[in-house]
Structure 1
Amino acid sequence: MGLFDGASPDTDEGSTAEVARLLGLPVVLVVDARKVARSVAATVLGFQRFDPRLRIVGVVLNGIGSARHLDYCRGPIERATGIPVIGHLPRRDDLQLPERHLGLVPEVEGPVAGEFFARLATQVEASVDLDLLLRVAEAPDPPAVPPRLFPPEPVPAHALIAVARDRAFSFYYEDALDLLAAWGAEVVPVSPLADAVLPKGCSALYLGGGFPELYARELSENAPFLHAVREAAAAGLPIYGECGGLMYLGREIVDAGGTAHSMAGLLPLRTSMEGARLHLGYRRVRALADGPVLAEGEEARGHEFHYSRLDVLEEAPAAYEVLDQPGRLEGFRAGSVWASYVHLHLAHSPYMAPRFVATAARHRRRE
């Protein structure tokens, strides 16, 4: 996504530009210069004029092929805009991160990211004026904002929320987990790939996004953990799944080769990588019943980003209505299990994180 891309085609809402504007932060623009020269100046000038409220203080050029190419880009940019080109990155095959159907390969899958960033750091030191970068990017103190999301003082832990974290599940907003901890959750990682049981004293399970389709066989073969999740659901444990978590809570995942792998079976759905297409974008949803993070009628914003196809095997109550796609229902709920393709951000509302913790705490008290 670019500087101005966000939740709306008509405003900067939800974009990096909005964040920079609200916080009064300077912007360093990274521009792809492959296959262009002087034309890149028009691109930078367009960004500069598109929203004059932003302070674009420097440019880094990506994909420079030679010293001559750099000269053909730098001069026109600086003359047309007055913005300094503070450095560049050359074309180098070893500065390409491996990708897959949803983007970059996560760091949890191996040391690829560490090796990449070591090479990148060496290159940046050689071709970017870091002293100039620090000078032009100096930011003012952030504006004073009254506390809204976090409690005045951290709440003592009174609920244990197990969070699925391994190679199959790694897509989380870290500040959302910080919010849960601040409101009194002991956030404990658990691995659906490797663990046999839920943590002792577990009072809720949070299954986030990731790539369960790549580890469907291993997830299916970990029968003890699947059994533990089913038993916990039968006992009323609050279970909240997002995207990959939704897939895990269904009956089966069909991998790209067409092989079906049994999952938890708590929701009447099958997800498949066959014939799948990309679903991407911000979502506004309204809860259709009381759930772990939203009460009935409450609204929240989130993000949908997946390649899998979903087949509904039996009728089941939906979790949300999608407000920016009229008529569309999203997600499923069954007893204490609540799951959807939408990744909600718990910072959208000051009530979401404390509600999740309170839901978990109520289950703990009932035990």
Structure 2
Amino acid sequence: MEDPCAVARILIAGTHSGVGKTTFSIGIMAALQARGLDIRPYKVGPDYIDPSHHSAASGRLCRNLDSWMLPPSALVEIFCRSARGADIAVIEGVMGLFDGLSGLDDSGSTAEVARILRTPVILVIDAGSMARSAAAVAQGYARFDPTLPLAGFLINGIGSERHFAWVREAIETAVSLPVLGYLPKRAEITIPERHLGLIPAAEAGGKTPIEALRREIEETVDLDRIVAIGRTAEPLTPPSGGEGLFPAEPFPPAAIIAYARDEAFSFYYPDNLDLIEAYGGELVPFSPLAEPALPSGTRGIYIGGGFPEIYAERLSANRPLIRSIRSAAAAGIPIYAECGGLMYLSEGITDRSGRFHPMVGIVPGRVRMTGGLSRMGYVEVALAHDGPLGPAGLRARGHEFHWSETEGDLSPPAHRVIFPEDREEGYAFGNVIASYIHLHFGSNPALARNLVSACLKRI
């Protein structure tokens, strides 16, 4: 085993979705970063958009910590590998503190991640329509699972200093844990949204109120006490080099893998990219919106998720790159696409106004935007055929979240879904595999090894 990983850390959880976890997390990250602290941001769960705001607020790449997609040892390894040297790690939870895959236990929940990573929890309560009743909420959470390292509270929706004083006194009397601060009811410290949730930070630009949040947090939250709580976290012991997800020594770069990275495509688990590089892939970004050709020497292509429907006209207009990708596919170069990537590789996208935009066309069928959420949730899959990600039957876990549907016959399928129900999903033929599912390579690092190996065969 490696030396213990002694990193100060806190986990900001909530009583429910929409309670203000992201707002507090962004503000606290920005305020601590402004003090000169080296912050490492994390997000519980599979979400891609919140992490973009965390990265913008902290100046550091945010990573996902998901206890359903990843086994406990992998969760500890990913955290320790990325958090070493930090002054403090700030982890934002998902949904309510105890919400996960079951109504009977906390599997896949924020609480489970807090236990695995031995991290003090600070709970956000919305007291916008409460005073002393907030103490009953706090007491309920504290008593529901006394083994959880609950360390304090943050209060959202405060109407006045007097309101906060009432809430604070009530909670601290009932629970004997500190109330560490509050945020007022204020429209200018909310984050813009669209159909997949919050708008990514790079796209929101000046509309994301990071500076306003930082100033507010500096006035209303006890940052010194939060850091002190973080320093009470117990050390963690990650797997030794070579016994976990990553090889003991990274492989030398051996195959250029072009990956789509621009406003239309930005949804990648950072650990997927790290694993590809660790096993010898040389990742080179390219823009499907702006560049006329794939990077020179490309031996593999990875197209992640994003918002291709928002940029469909521009993507469709970049015919030189589309021809470049078609040529790569015809030459047998391995291509792996997830969600937005599948949409881009299809024959085309019909947007919400009914307008059709031709796309790459190496995946049969069209994609149509729907008026609502088509699928959302965790999935476990087995590869349906031998291909760039590995042999048929190889299992992995991931997440699916999309507001579109495919039209036409997508066969042969990429995956056999084995959880939560039995179905075929995606498209795989020869060197191409495309799916709505975002796989986490940490659920099975053989995916990264196999992808790089498939690319090496093209050299």
Q: TM-score, normalised by structure 2?
A: 0.76
Please name the residue that 2:388 is paired with: 292
Query: 1:315-362, CA deviations, whole angstroms, 9 ceiling, x for partnerless residues?
Result: 511111211233321111122110111100111123222112111111
- Aligned-partner SS, 1:295: coil
Deviation at 1:278, TM superposition (A): 4.3
Q: Give the 3 Å change call, closer, same or farther, for CA 213–281 of structure 1 in structure 2.
A: same
Please name the residue that 1:356 is paired with: 451
Q: Which residue of 128, 133, 145 maps to 1:34?
A: 128
Please name the residue that 1:245 is paired with: 341
Asked if 1:121 is matched to 2:214, the reply is yes
Q: Give the 3 Å change call, closer, same or farther, for CA 317–350 of structure 1 in structure 2.
A: same
After the TM superposition, which residues 84-103 of structure 1 pair with which residues of structure 2 at under 5 Å, given as runs? Answer: 84-103=178-197
Q: Is the 8 A contact 1:288 1:318 kept in 2?
A: yes
Q: Which has the higher contact order (CA 8 A, sep 6+)?
A: 2
Q: Which residue of 154, 163, 173 maps to 1:60?
A: 154
Of residues 62-71 and 150-159 in structure 1, the stretch that sits farther from structure 2 once superposed is 62-71
Q: Which residue of 292, 295, 298 maps to 1:202?
A: 298
Asked if 1:339 is matched to 2:434, the reply is yes
> Could you tell me how far apart the structure 2 residues matched to 1:37 and 1:306 are?
39
After the TM superposition, which residues 261-272 of structure 1 pair with which residues of structure 2 at under 5 Å, given as runs? Answer: 261-272=357-368
Q: Is the 8 A contact 2:387 2:430 kept in 1?
A: no
The amino acid across from 1:89 in the alignment is L
The amino acid across from 2:413 in the alignment is A
Please name the residue that 1:236 is paired with: 332
Q: Which residue of 390, 397, 417 maps to 1:301?
A: 397
Q: Which residue of 209, 217, 224 maps to 2:313?
A: 217
- Aligned-partner SS, 2:311: helix
Q: Is the 8 A contact 1:252 1:261 kept in 2?
A: yes
Q: Give the 3 Å change call, closer, same or farther, for CA 146–202 of structure 1 in structure 2.
A: same
Q: Give the 3 Å change call, closer, same or farther, for CA 278–123 of structure 1 in structure 2.
A: farther
> Could you tell me how far apart the structure 2 residues matched to 1:238 and 1:10 are?
43
The amino acid across from 2:446 in the alignment is Y
Please name the residue that 1:282 is paired with: 378
Q: Is the 8 A contact 1:7 1:15 kept in 2?
A: yes
Of residues 147-156 and 104-113 in structure 1, the stretch that sits farther from structure 2 once superposed is 104-113
Query: 1:232-283, CA deviations, whole angstroms, 9 ceiling, x for partnerless residues?
Result: 1111111111110011111110111110100111111221124443421111
Of residues 30-39 and 235-244 in structure 1, the stretch that sits farther from structure 2 once superposed is 30-39
- Aligned-partner SS, 2:96: coil
Q: Is the 8 A contact 1:279 1:307 kept in 2?
A: yes
Please name the residue that 2:26 is paired with: none
Please name the residue that 1:14 is paired with: 108
Percent identity reads 48
- Aligned-partner SS, 2:296: coil
Please name the residue that 1:186 is paired with: 282
The amino acid across from 1:136 in the alignment is I
Q: Is the 8 A contact 1:250 1:265 kept in 2?
A: yes
Q: Is the 8 A contact 1:23 1:143 kept in 2?
A: no
Q: Which residue of 321, 324, 330 maps to 2:419?
A: 324
> Could you tell me how far apart the structure 2 residues matched to 1:226 and 1:121 are?
43
* Residue-pair matches, total: 362
Deviation at 1:110, TM superposition (A): 4.6
> Could you tell me how far apart the structure 2 residues matched to 1:175 and 1:350 are?
10
Query: 1:193-231, CA deviations, whole angstroms, 9 ceiling, x for partnerless residues?
Result: 001111111111111010000000000000011111111
Please name the residue that 2:54 is paired with: none
- Cα-Cα RMSD: 1.6
> Could you tell me how far apart the structure 2 residues matched to 1:153 and 1:170 are?
28
Structure 2 unaligned runs (5+)? 1-94
> Could you tell me how far apart the structure 2 residues matched to 1:144 and 1:315 are?
41
- Aligned-partner SS, 1:289: coil
- Aligned-partner SS, 2:225: helix
Q: Is the 8 A contact 2:373 2:401 kept in 1?
A: no
> Could you tell me how far apart the structure 2 residues matched to 1:355 and 1:329 are?
22
> Could you tell me how far apart the structure 2 residues matched to 1:276 and 1:335 are?
33
Of residues 285-294 and 121-130 in structure 1, the stretch that sits farther from structure 2 once superposed is 285-294
Q: Is the 8 A contact 2:389 2:450 kept in 1?
A: yes
The amino acid across from 1:46 in the alignment is G
- Aligned-partner SS, 1:42: helix
Q: Give the 3 Å change call, closer, same or farther, for CA 289–10 of structure 1 in structure 2.
A: farther
Q: Give the 3 Å change call, closer, same or farther, for CA 321–87 of structure 1 in structure 2.
A: same
Structure 1 unaligned runs (5+)? none
Deviation at 1:3, TM superposition (A): 2.2
The amino acid across from 1:66 in the alignment is S
Q: Which residue of 142, 155, 167 maps to 2:263?
A: 167
